[in-house]
């Protein structure tokens, strides 16, 4: 079975967010980038399923410029077999989805996995767009994924519960907890990752449909109002009379 796992390159989860002076771009200066945490679930589950089947391939795909390669290599070190980088700035979800669909169309992949969203743009869009562009089902967000032959059984989160869904390959799923325990690379993986193939292809000419006019930080909090523990009940009166939330 051929797995395609799409990963994003995102600022480390503890990064203090700042923007360029024109507020149009995230300020990357001094920021550590990581594989999008949601995508790590997709990557690890694909590797687990491949191992369980005793064969197949896991290809990692990233739409990004050359500075994303350390994290692509990390994905190879975790256990992916090969990688493709679409050499382009990921303009918006539509642009990225078109690149993924274009690669997937030619690659004959059975299962396309990715995280439910990226922790920087929080779009929750790419998986659905890819599914629609390819004319195959999308299951999002998936909390569990098992394969039996060409049939996949997934648990999909809905508000207040879950749906158990069966689909045939090929399909797209976006992944989230508690799908698996994301793996970290071991020394052997890091060594072998250096020699695994990483193909760089140019983007298709398709345009984006959205553009960020400006980023902004939320207003600063006014500061905490502390209530003595011994008169904790006063808090409830403040929440009703002052904050008016209960």
Partner 1 sequence: MSVLVVVECDGGEVKKSSLEVASYGSQVAQMLGTTATAVAVGEATEANLAQLGEQGITKVLHDAEPRLKDFVNGAYTKLIAAAAQKEDAKIIVLANSNIGASVGSRLSIRLQASIATNVVELPKIDGGSFTVKRGAFSGKAFADVKLDGDRKIIAVKKNSIEALHEAGKTAQVEAFSAQLSDADFADAPKQVVMQDQAGGILLPEADLVVSGGRGMKGPENWNLIEELAKALGAATACSKPVSDVDWRPHHEHVGQTGITVSPNLYIACGISGAIQHLAGVNSSKVIVVINKDPEAPFFKAADYGIVGDVFDVLPKLTQAVKELN
Please report, as residue ranges, which positions from 35 to 94 form the binding site for partner 1 (by CB under 8 A).
Answer: 37-38, 93-94
Residue from 49, 58, 119 nearest 84 by CA:
58
Q: Which of 108, 122, 148, 188 binds partner 1 (CB under 8 A)?
A: 122
Q: What is the dihedral of CA 19, 20, 25, 31, to 10 degrees?
A: -60
Distance CA 183, CA 227 (A): 43
Residue list 214-233, contact with partner 1 (CB under 8 A): 214-218, 221-222, 224-229, 232-233
Quote the least distance from Cβ 176 to partner 1, whole Å.
7
List Cβ neighbours of 107 (8 Å cut-off, separation of 6 or more).
2, 4, 59
Enter the tokens of residue 62: 């990233």
Measured from the CB of residue 29, what is the shortest distance to partner 1 in angstroms? 16
Contact between 107 and partner 1 (CB under 8 A)?
no
Give me the least distance between CB of 244 and partner 1, in Å please: 9
- Residue 152: exposed, middle, or buried by beta-carbon count in 10 A (0-12, 13-18, 19+)? buried
Residues 123-182 that bind partner 1 (CB under 8 A): 123-129, 131-133, 137-141, 143, 156-167, 176-178
Give the Cβ contact number of residue 157 at 10 Å: 16
* In the complex, least distance from residue 148 CB atom to partner 1, rounded to whole angstroms: 13
Q: Could you tell me the smallest distance in angstroms from the CB atom of residue 184 to partner 1? A: 16
Q: Are 79 and 115 in contact (CB under 8 A)?
A: no
CB of 35 to partner 1, least distance (A): 13
Residue with smaller CB distance to partner 1, 85 or 127: 127
Where in 179-208 is the site for partner 1 (CB under 8 A)? 208
* Of 60-68, 74-82, 114-122, 185-193: span binding partner 1 (CB under 8 A): 114-122
- Distance, CA of 221 to CA of 226 (rounded, Å): 14
Nearer to partner 1, 40 or 61 (CB): 40
Q: Are 98 and 133 in contact (CB under 8 A)?
A: yes
């Amino acid at each position: 079975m051929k797995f395609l796992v799409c990963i994003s390159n995102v600022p480390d989860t503890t990064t203090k967010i700042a923007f360029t002076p024109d507020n149009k771009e995230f300020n990357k200066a001094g920021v550590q980038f990581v594989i999008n945490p949601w995508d790590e679930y997709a990557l690890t589950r694909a590797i687990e399923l491949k191992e369980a089947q005793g064969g197949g391939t896991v290809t990692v795909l990233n739409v990004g410029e050359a500075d994303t390669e350390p994290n692509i290599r990390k994905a190879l070190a975790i256990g992916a077999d090969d990688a493709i980088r679409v050499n382009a700035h990921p303009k918006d979800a539509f642009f990225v989805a078109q690149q993924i669909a274009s690669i997937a169309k030619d690659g004959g992949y059975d299962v396309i996995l990715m995280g439910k969203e990226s922790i920087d743009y929080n779009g929750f869009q790419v998986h659905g767009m890819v599914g629609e562009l390819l004319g195959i089902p999308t299951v999002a967000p998936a909390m569990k994924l098992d394969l039996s032959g060409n049939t996949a059984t997934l648990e999909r989160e809905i508000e207040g519960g879950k749906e158990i869904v069966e689909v045939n390959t090929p399909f797209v799923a976006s992944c989230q907890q508690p799908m698996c325990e994301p793996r970290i690379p071991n020394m052997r993986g890091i060594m072998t990752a250096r020699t695994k193939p990483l193909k760089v292809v140019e983007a298709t000419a398709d345009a984006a449909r959205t553009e960020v006019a400006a980023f902004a930080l939320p207003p600063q909090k006014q500061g905490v109002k502390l209530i003595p523990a011994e008169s904790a009940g006063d808090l409830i009166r403040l929440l009703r009379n002052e904050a008016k939330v209960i």
